Amino acid sequence: MPILSKTKSLLSSVHFNLKVQSLPDRVYLREVMLPSMAKTKPENVLLAGTRRYTRRYPSFFAANDTVVWTLDFDPSAARFGNGPFHRTGDHCEVDQIFESVRFDVIHLNGILGFGIDTPDQVERMTEACHRALNTNGHIMIGWDSDRTTDPAENPTIISRFEHSKFADLPARHAVTGLGGYDHVFDWFRRTD
């Protein structure tokens, strides 16, 4: 690849990264959600979905309090994960990928409609996350209203989880994102 093409590609990547980081949902995530999560000092957290704009997310948590695991289905995204705590795999198999780990929090932002698309996939992901969470553990599902149906109305999700606040965060927080569609953050607590 000629140097000019490489330079254009790098500049395009940096521009996209800056654009995504400036979106209202990403600002809320960085300025409100991640700091609030970190204050609870969970032992194990899973941040699902890694990209250039997510690579600093693990640094919100104190290393002596929390092990931050990352997961992405795309092997090329591993470079943005949390080093030795990153895994590549299917979000529908989170309990198998992290067989010996139980999470206090699983953070799934932008997964529904972007890889977990069918009702069967949502059901498999829900069941796997339920098994991977500690009793009373929490799952956060961030979703775009133009890409998927409301998880708080999904029978599989509500049969395994209670829609409820987490720490000082509300059960639901929505921000208007790209194209005027809402990006919604929903918290659910594991029920047995």
Determine the straight-line distance between the first and last CA of the chain, rounded to whole angstroms. 54
**Which bin fits 95, alpha (ψ -120 to 50), beta or left (φ > 0)?**
alpha
- What pLDDT, in 10s, does the model give residues 136-150? 999 999 988 887 889
Q: H or E stretch including 11?
A: helix 3-21
Range with top average pLDDT, 75-84, 106-115, 169-178: 75-84
Has residue 122 got a pLDDT over 60?
yes
pLDDT at 135: 94
Has residue 69 got a pLDDT over 90?
yes
In contact, 38 and 62? CB cutoff 8 Å? yes
Instruction: Share the mean pLDDT of the chain.
Output: 88
pLDDT at 15: 46
CATH number of 23-190: 3.40.50.150
Q: Which residues make Cβ contacts (< 8 Å) with residue 128, sequence separation at least 6?
A: 91, 92, 93, 94, 95, 96
